[in-house]
């Protein structure tokens, strides 16, 4: 009892949440999207990263993160009708179309000479599904299906999905999984099944969901439940009509993992003891992924009676996480004192004064997912 009390009070005390109004949330969403929109390059790429203390723009690039940025922009366009976000997503789509590998009836996202990774294609599928929701256009439907067929081609008999396809051998790399690619593939297949019902996408999606819920942590080497926000997205998309006892039990474990992460992050800091017990403050991507995972499980709890008892706690956790995310964002006043204010404003910087495209991507998606909660609270 003494040990439990010490853990509760000293290591993972309850979060103290700052206030959050819907207007501030909307402004934060707009500013995060603005950072991504201002970063569009002529070739369709986005600004990858920026170190403000040294005024250095990163020359790195990553097609998986590119697809993730497209996703967040199309999510915003689908939910709010934001034309600037849609235009920035369309610029990114040109780059994506120029970096495809095709074999047989499938296509995968990969830069020339690089292996194809499941995560990039899965997030491209998610982005294109949200593009369809935003525009109603069907011109990318064939590409969406081709990318989804790549994910199915990577799936193994036990339901798992291998993370890499080798351009040298023309085959999946045996035994190599992707840390986030498994959950990304689950969500992508669930989205495609919702977009194209009756085409059979539910079968690989459900096989993958069962694998994630029952075997993934052991097979892929996680001692504790891996807090996979993409898997949470996938469960929420599949919905209550198809989720069995194993998947519901897994959803509860995910909720516990995200709750612990949220409390630890809220108590993080730079002092010695805080850093030792609770870690450094999370990046924008870290803040966002916690929020995305909690938001997906909250949505699922609203429609699945088996998780209804978690709904109130998840809602409060989501509200608190969004408030802390908004609090950490660089605003216009802060950015004005730096050489490149457009690369400061709307961003989330880590302790080493660096921000990256996925910091804004994940924070934007998480805050966008919080909007219905605050709007519902305002109108109820």
Tell me the pLDDT of the chain averaged across its residues: 92
> Contact 192/125 with Cβ under 8 angstroms?
yes
Per-residue model confidence (pLDDT) at position 376: 84
Q: Is the pLDDT of residue 270 over 90?
A: no
Residue scoring higher pLDDT (343 or 16) = 343
Q: What is the pLDDT of residue 379?
A: 52
Tell me the percentage of the chain whose pLDDT exceeds 70: 92
Q: How confident is residue 264, by pLDDT bands cut at 50, 70 and 90?
A: confident
Determine contact, residues 300/239, Cβ cutoff 8 Å: yes
Alpha carbon 200 to its chain's center: 25
Ordered alpha helix ranges (H), 2-155: 2-6, 22-38, 63-80, 83-97, 118-135, 141-153
Q: Average of pLDDT values for 63-82?
A: 98
pLDDT exceeds cutoff 70 at 319: yes
Q: Is the pLDDT of residue 269 over 80?
A: no
Whether the pLDDT of residue 48 is over 50: the answer is yes
Average pLDDT over residues 294-313: 97
Residue 275 scores a pLDDT above 70: no
List the one residue out of 43, 88, 52 whose CA is nearest residue 354. 52
268, pLDDT greater than 80: no
Is residue 66 pLDDT above 50, yes or no? yes
What pLDDT shows up at residue 11?
54
pLDDT of residue 205: 98
Q: Quick: pLDDT tens for 92-140.
A: 999 999 999 999 999 999 999 999 999 999 999 999 999 999 999 999 9
Residue 75 has pLDDT above 50, yes or no: yes
What number is the average pLDDT over the span 33-55? 97
Strands (E), the chain: 49-51, 56-57, 100-103, 106-109, 116-117, 164-166, 171-172, 354-356
pTM of the model: 0.93
Q: Assess whether pLDDT exceeds 70 at residue 9.
A: no
If you compute the radius of gyration of the chain from its CA atoms, what whole number of angstroms results?
20
What is the structure's pLDDT at 380? 44
How many angstroms separate the Cα of 135 from the Cα of each of 59, 129, 257? 32, 10, 36
Given a cut of 90, is residue 333 above it in pLDDT?
A: no
Q: pLDDT tens for residues 171-218?
A: 999 999 999 999 999 999 999 999 999 999 999 999 999 999 999 999
Give every strand in the sheet of 171-172, ordered side by side.
Answer: 116-117, 164-166, 171-172
């Amino acid at each position: 009892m003494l040990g439990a009390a010490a853990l509760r009070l000293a290591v993972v005390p309850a979060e103290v949440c700052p206030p959050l109004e819907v207007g501030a949330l909307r402004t934060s969403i707009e500013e995060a999207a603005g950072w991504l929109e201002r970063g569009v390059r002529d070739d369709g790429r986005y600004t990858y990263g920026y170190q403000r203390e040294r005024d250095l723009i990163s020359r790195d690039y990553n097609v998986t993160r590119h697809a993730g940025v497209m996703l967040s922009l199309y999510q915003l366009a689908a939910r709010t009708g934001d034309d600037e976000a849609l235009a920035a997503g369309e610029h990114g789509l040109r780059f994506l179309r120029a970096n495809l590998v095709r074999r047989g009836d499938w296509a995968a996202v990969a830069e020339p000479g690089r292996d194809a990774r499941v995560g990039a294609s899965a997030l491209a599928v998610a982005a294109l599904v949200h593009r369809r929701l935003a525009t109603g256009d069907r011109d990318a439907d064939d590409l969406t299906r081709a990318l989804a067929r790549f994910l199915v081609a990577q799936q193994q008999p036990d339901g798992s999905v291998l993370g890499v396809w080798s351009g040298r051998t023309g085959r999946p790399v045996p035994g190599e999984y992707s840390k986030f690619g498994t959950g990304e593939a689950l969500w992508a297949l669930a989205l495609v099944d919702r977009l194209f019902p009756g085409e059979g996408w539910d079968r690989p999606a459900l096989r993958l969901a069962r694998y994630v819920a029952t075997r993934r942590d052991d097979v892929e080497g996680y001692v504790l439940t891996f807090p996979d926000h993409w898997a949470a997205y996938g469960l929420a998309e599949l919905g209550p009509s198809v989720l069995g006892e194993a998947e519901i039990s897994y959803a509860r474990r995910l909720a516990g993992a995200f709750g612990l992460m949220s409390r630890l992050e809220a108590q993080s800091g730079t002092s010695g003891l805080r850093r030792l017990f609770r870690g450094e403050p999370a990046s924008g991507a870290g803040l966002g992924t916690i929020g995305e995972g909690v938001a997906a499980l909250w949505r699922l709890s609203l429609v699945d009676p088996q998780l209804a008892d978690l709904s109130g706690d998840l809602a409060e956790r989501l509200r608190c996480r969004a408030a802390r995310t908004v609090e950490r964002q660089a605003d216009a006043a802060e950015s004005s004192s730096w050489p490149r204010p457009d690369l400061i404003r709307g961003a989330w910087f880590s302790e080493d004064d660096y921000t990256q495209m996925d910091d804004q991507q994940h924070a934007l998606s998480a805050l966008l997912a919080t909007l219905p909660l605050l709007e519902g609270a305002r109108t109820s």
